[in-house]
Structure 1
């Protein structure tokens, strides 16, 4: 048995020789990362610099965009280095750091989407009591819990993984994740598997069930309400539902690949499905909200015109 404290590096075996296409893949990933950074930073600046957008919905959106930057930064620079590298290895500390970033990003994303659905639920179902329910203290508390709970939960996962006894150091992916490290363990993994299942249910599945509940209530009010109520619900809920669906599909791809043997799929397809939720969501969400929410779109255009674009 090899104790994980003696494993100095992990080998990422999912990479393949890209030959003359290496530079093309590098430029493609680099362009995607630059686009993600520009779009998310721009929308964060739009929300922060305009007091008219200092409302609960936009503050939750700002938290979502910050998480998009955080998650993509935890993956893209690493991918760029690996694409240009001939030896696809990663040091053990950096691997565990990436596990922390990837898992906290996913949990924070779902919790952000959950509190945004709660905000829409209050605004549509209880419009007269909305300001009473959604106070500044409550907003700060919800955002703080959205970030602190996943960060604290993932610290314990990293602790369990880093103290497991490992029988190898080969990870069949293009980045590090907790389940891949657990599969290398020689020791009893019941504790880390049980904790991981509980933590996942408490964040991803718990948030998803809560979102379904809030939208059932929203749809009930819309069907029985006025045309104006339905229009308000459609305009504010469409980008949220689209973002939720996109992220859920990507996370499902990753979950299926982690739990089942997908060797029948081409290697390039497995890599794409594995990276979808980490690469497409950080660009999809800000573009969707920027295009669909008129207030952000108008202020964004005004800001661009003021700086000469």
Structure 2
């Protein structure tokens, strides 16, 4: 088939009617993106410099937070640059790169939470075998698999779309969205089953692993003492919140892509489309920093050590 290179750019028309509000939006987004990068980087640094935190759970947490920064960077810089663009166009190559980047980072997010759920399953349900099963080498392999799996799956998905001929170049969205760009393909019906298949590989499979892990954890918790039950709940709470938030984000995305866009005001639809990339990276460092005692204490020592305050 013909390549879509004859279309030089994709126009993101969602930015066309912002008017003078673009200054306000720019300021809010810049502060939000900076906060995401600083807070996630801070927790990563805390784990890196504290040898007591060089354990599988915290290594997987570092991986998750690296991806929070990665996923945010796939969205915010383009949004910030578009606030003051007159044409609101994005080169086709950059548009496809952003689509690939966003969806791959979302897959890494789901898979990382699945790996963290499995880690907690082993720690709570098989404590005597934990050090054997979740050793450093095994964790490194898991992390490598998460990234290779996620990027390979979506590489296959986007190779299919990038070689198709496009007959339009206007997308009414804040970023290059796969489903909207696919609608621009000329005389070719994009099979929704193909997109759904990749969605199952990158969302449903990790969710299934998470669900199985937490069911096993709950079964064990009901059989243990109150103290062990409380400890298990404390360590699992941040992950449960993260997974629940992902469910909400996925529901919003399904609603936004499967329901006629005319049924929703533009602002609501835009909110649905970027919910995960806005809220998930922002709440992750606070959830784990506030809920995990080891990280909370390490943060306090790091911030107050030079002042002579002990905890």
Shorter chain as denominator, the TM-score bin is over 0.9
Paired position in structure 2 for 1:273 = 272
Paired with 1:116 and 1:189, the residues of 2 have a C-alpha distance of: 39
**Displacement of 1:13 after TM fit?**
2.1
For 1:46-57, list aligned pairs within 5 A: 46-57=46-57
Paired position in structure 2 for 1:103 = 103
Paired position in structure 2 for 1:131 = 131
Paired position in structure 1 for 2:88 = 88
Q: Gaps (5+ residues) in structure 1?
A: none
**Displacement of 1:23 after TM fit?**
0.9
TM-score relative to the length of structure 1:
0.95
**CA, structure 1 residues 7+98, in 2 after alignment: closer, same or farther (shift >3 Å)?**
same
Instruction: Name the SS of the counterpart of 1:263 in structure 2.
Output: helix
Paired position in structure 2 for 1:169 = 169
What whole-Å deviation, never above 9, does each CA across 1:224-270 have from its counterpart, x for those lacking one?
A: 11112211111111110001111221122122211221323222222
**Displacement of 1:189 after TM fit?**
4.5
Paired with 2:83 and 2:304, the residues of 1 have a C-alpha distance of: 38
Question: Does the 8 Å contact 1:164/1:187 carry over to 2?
Answer: no
Paired position in structure 2 for 1:248 = 247
What whole-Å deviation, never above 9, does each CA across 1:139-185 have from its counterpart, x for those lacking one?
A: 11111111111111222222211101222111121101221221111
Paired position in structure 2 for 1:12 = 12
For 1:21-32, list aligned pairs within 5 A: 21-32=21-32
- Count the aligned residue pairs: 308
Paired position in structure 1 for 2:301 = 302
Question: Does the 8 Å contact 1:2/1:166 carry over to 2?
Answer: no
Paired with 1:265 and 1:179, the residues of 2 have a C-alpha distance of: 17
What whole-Å deviation, never above 9, does each CA across 1:260-299 have from its counterpart, x for those lacking one?
A: 2132322222212211111111011111111111110111
What whole-Å deviation, never above 9, does each CA across 1:10-49 have from its counterpart, x for those lacking one?
A: 0112224222322111100111001001101101101111
For 1:115-264, list aligned pairs within 5 A: 115-189=115-189, 193-264=192-263
Paired with 2:79 and 2:173, the residues of 1 have a C-alpha distance of: 11
Query: Alignment RMSD, CA only?
Result: 1.8
Could you list the structure 1 runs, at least 4 aligned residues long, displaced by more than 6 angstroms after superposition.
none
Instruction: Name the SS of the counterpart of 2:90 in structure 1.
Output: strand
Instruction: Name the SS of the counterpart of 2:175 in structure 1.
Output: coil
**Displacement of 1:198 after TM fit?**
2.3
Paired with 1:264 and 1:153, the residues of 2 have a C-alpha distance of: 32
Paired position in structure 1 for 2:287 = 288
Paired position in structure 2 for 1:41 = 41
**CA, structure 1 residues 24+307, in 2 after alignment: closer, same or farther (shift >3 Å)?**
farther
Paired with 2:110 and 2:306, the residues of 1 have a C-alpha distance of: 34
Q: Which stretch shows the higher mean deviation, 105-114 or 245-254?
A: 245-254
Question: Does the 8 Å contact 2:245/2:280 carry over to 1?
Answer: yes
Paired with 1:304 and 1:249, the residues of 2 have a C-alpha distance of: 34
Q: Gaps (5+ residues) in structure 2?
A: none
Question: Does the 8 Å contact 2:157/2:198 carry over to 1?
Answer: no
Paired with 1:267 and 1:200, the residues of 2 have a C-alpha distance of: 25
Paired with 1:19 and 1:184, the residues of 2 have a C-alpha distance of: 27
What whole-Å deviation, never above 9, does each CA across 1:61-109 have from its counterpart, x for those lacking one?
A: 0000000000001100111111122221110011011011100111000
